[in-house]
Amino acid sequence: MTPAELEVADLCVELIRVDSSNYGDGSGPGERAAAEVVMARLAEVGIEATYLESAPGRGNVITRVEGTDPSLPALLVHGHLDVVPANAADWTVDPFSGEVRDGYIWGRGAVDMKDMDAMMLAVLRQLTRDGRRPRRDLVFAWLADEEAGGTFGAKYLTKHHPGLFEGVTEAISEVGGYSLEVAPSLRLYLIETAQKGLAWMKLVADGTAGHGSMLNSDNAVTEVAKAVARIGSHDWPLAYTPTVRRFLVEIADAYGLPFDEDDPSVLLDRLGPLVRFVGATLRHTANPTQLDAGYKSNVIPGQASAVIDGRFLPGFEDDFFKTIDSLIGPKVRREFVHHDIALETTFDGALVESMIAALKAEDPAARAIPYCMSGGTDNKTFFADLDIRGFGFVPLRLPAGMDFASMFHGVDERVPVDALQFGVRVLERLLLDY
């Protein structure tokens, strides 16, 4: 084993032991301590990385490795240092222990995403110790605040220090690159090339306030309730983006099944628990999540509101809002609580070829396929704003049948040690060869 393979598990454990929970309200410990681990491990091999705080305790680490060919555009490799909180009472182990048991590292962040943070560290330390240089500039970034929208991480850096990303045209990060075993001779590696957009919408109805005992044909509560019911029970039709179509065609081929466009459920069933990652990418979704109206049983309020969590498919944003507006009706207006773009890139080009080659070199049974995720990552908005083409690529060869999707933000989050070692080998190949 190479030194990078030997140390990646220890690095991951060390990072998990630093509680960097992000509560989204500024009350957490921040990322400084985790960033200090990264800085120290880089300093050990002589790398003086840049440490930037967007607010007290909200630490980001970034460093650039100069490539041998300055004519090539740079590649960004990024991971976030924060994690979502964990309720220790629910867990089999202490979520911040980084306990290694049965070949797995257990703990909050083991897959989201201190695994990749550690793989990036291990590979960069190895390249530096060996004095090997990549062909193109590589920008490594360990970021704060991804779990609460990136304000103190990706947003801060791209807004206030865009020069750090000069010459960068592509990026790799979470959530993709993991395997789905079809048979011992065929493992699909799902590379994320698309993300749904996000529309958190507040619906507001204004009506005539009055006494609850009297006739009232202009009741704000009634109007909002009708709009919420129409949206919540709307049956969104199937709509295939190029990524989702390609994904389903590949799944059909891998399992030797037909792809029935009108009923892809047979294919989705074959994905097992991974259906949680992709099931919601075949159509828009709009789920009512909050209702707010009134203050007393016999008082009709003048205003009522609700919140809808809408997720729209890349390329179909106009269609989504047209439908939403027709469902809302004329008496209800909508405002954005939060609005974020959808992303989709093609599954081609030299970076994709290099990812495929690196996977195949380490796993002859590998076949890489693109997929769309229903959530979002730092690649969305902030890096997309800088015209950086992003991919989800954290290479992990997982055991057959592992319920990987439930690890994200889940109880007993864990990652196989040998998957990290595999990831280090793939990443090292990719970063050197590309």
Which residues of the chain form contacts with Zn ion (CB under 5 A)? 112-113, 174
Least distance (Å) from Zn ion to the CB of residue 353? Answer: 26
Number of residues that this document lists for the chain? 434
| Residue 139, strand partner residues | 64, 76
> Is 149:381 a contact under the CB 8 Å cutoff?
no
Contact residues for 262 (Cβ-Cβ < 8 A; gap 6+): 238
Give the nearer residue to Zn ion in terms of CB position, either 51 or 408.
Answer: 408
Q: Return d(Cα 421, Cα 11) in angstroms, integer.
A: 12
Least distance (Å) from Zn ion to the CB of residue 113? Answer: 5
Least distance (Å) from Zn ion to the CB of residue 377? Answer: 6
Give the nearer residue to Zn ion in terms of CB position, either 5 or 19.
Answer: 19
Least distance (Å) from Zn ion to the CB of residue 386? Answer: 20
Least distance (Å) from Zn ion to the CB of residue 329? Answer: 37
Residue nearest to Zn ion (CB): 112
Least distance (Å) from Zn ion to the CB of residue 408? Answer: 7
Could you say which DSSP state residue 58 is in? -
Q: Return d(Cα 414, Cα 401) in angstroms, integer.
A: 14
Give the nearer residue to Zn ion in terms of CB position, either 112 or 362.
Answer: 112
Least distance (Å) from Zn ion to the CB of residue 122? Answer: 19
Give the nearer residue to Zn ion in terms of CB position, either 356 or 419.
Answer: 419
Q: How far, in Å, are 8, 39, 84, 158, 174 from residue 192 at the CA level?
A: 24, 29, 21, 22, 8
SS3 109: coil
C-alpha dihedral, 380 to 384 to 388 to 390, nearest 10°: 20
> Is 342:243 a contact under the CB 8 Å cutoff?
no
Phi, psi of 208, deg, nearest 5: -100, 120
| Pairing label, strands 50-53, 299-300 | unpaired
Give the nearer residue to Zn ion in terms of CB position, either 19 or 112.
Answer: 112
Least distance (Å) from Zn ion to the CB of residue 257? Answer: 31
> Is 108:21 a contact under the CB 8 Å cutoff?
yes
> Is 248:267 a contact under the CB 8 Å cutoff?
yes
122: tokens are 């291990």
Give the nearer residue to Zn ion in terms of CB position, either 370 or 392.
Answer: 392
Least distance (Å) from Zn ion to the CB of residue 393? Answer: 13
Give the nearer residue to Zn ion in terms of CB position, either 67 or 153.
Answer: 153
Least distance (Å) from Zn ion to the CB of residue 355? Answer: 19
| Pairing label, strands 138-143, 74-80 | parallel
Give the nearer residue to Zn ion in terms of CB position, either 120 or 293.
Answer: 120
Q: How far, in Å, are 175, 198, 398 from residue 408 at the CA level?
A: 10, 19, 15
Helices (H), 131-171: 154-160
Give the nearer residue to Zn ion in terms of CB position, either 174 or 223.
Answer: 174
Give the nearer residue to Zn ion in terms of CB position, either 84 or 201.
Answer: 84
Phi, psi of 291, deg, nearest 5: -130, 145
Q: Which residues of 62-87 are buried (b: 16+ CB within 10 A; e: fewer)?
A: bbbbebeeeebebbbbbbbbbbbebe
